[in-house]
Amino acid sequence: MKKVHTLALVVLLLGACSFDYGPSASDQGDQPDILMKDVEYVRVRNGKPQVRFTAESAERYEKRQTMELTNFSFEQFEHQGVDINAIGQAGTASVELDSGNIRLKDGVRLEVESEDITLETEHLHWQDKERLLSGGEGEQVDMQRADGTNFSGWGFSADIRNRTWGFSSGISGTYVWEDEEEETEKEGLSE
């Protein structure tokens, strides 16, 4: 009986103790709160899909309000969620959950159907509220269009609201311009 009381006393004492190992990695935001594999996410507004993204893995950090994605790809919809207007991919992406800003890295490719533009680079940053897309000052961005237009340069930026884009330095490439009057004349001659 004495052994049972001693064992019960040891269990009670150990249960009342707490050990402080200092701040844990998860307290500092270094460990993900949620880890997901083979993710597919669709953002819907008014019952219509706006964007769909997929990722090999997603790590959500609540304290930092970020989500880190690997082997990321996305599709942006238009016309009531029927047509795909833009597609993109990156080796990694970091999404700021509160602002909607996104940093794309490691083999970024972005195709915008409505503008007939394809961008390729190592790094792009999307600022959601401002509707701005930019590359780093030291990052080369290559841009192509189906008509043969192609540019390379540094310091790429695009204002989506105003539908303008540019480079700050090192611009080189070819711009193809077709005169609509010439096209009309050519079409008229072939009839």
Domain ranges, residue 89 = 41-176
pTM of whole model > 0.85?
no
Residue 187 lies inside a defined structural domain of this protein: no
Residue 13 lies inside a defined structural domain of this protein: no
Check residue 29 and give its pLDDT.
Answer: 57
- The helix/strand/coil state of 130 is coil
Alpha-carbon 93 to chain mean position: 5
Whichever domain contains 153, its CATH number is 2.60.450.10
Is residue 70 within 8 Å of 55, Cβ to Cβ? yes
Check residue 9 and give its pLDDT.
Answer: 38
66-87: pLDDT as tens digits: 999 999 999 998 877 678 989 9
Whole-angstrom Cα distance, residue 114 to residue 148?
Answer: 16
Whole-angstrom Cα distance, residue 135 to residue 123?
Answer: 6
Q: Which parts of the chain sit beneath pLDDT 70?
A: 1-29, 81, 180-191
Please state the domain count of the chain: 1
Check residue 183 and give its pLDDT.
Answer: 54
Residue 20 lies inside a defined structural domain of this protein: no
Whole-angstrom Cα distance, residue 77 to residue 80?
Answer: 8
Running DSSP on this structure, what letter comes out for residue 78? E
Residue 113 lies inside a defined structural domain of this protein: yes
Whole-angstrom Cα distance, residue 131 to residue 56?
Answer: 27
Residue 22 lies inside a defined structural domain of this protein: no
Of residues 118, 111, 168, 110, the one with CA closest to residue 139:
168
Whole-angstrom Cα distance, residue 112 to residue 84?
Answer: 9
Residue 125 lies inside a defined structural domain of this protein: yes
Check residue 3 and give its pLDDT.
Answer: 46
Whole-angstrom Cα distance, residue 30 to residue 59?
Answer: 11
Residue 152 lies inside a defined structural domain of this protein: yes
Residue 64 lies inside a defined structural domain of this protein: yes
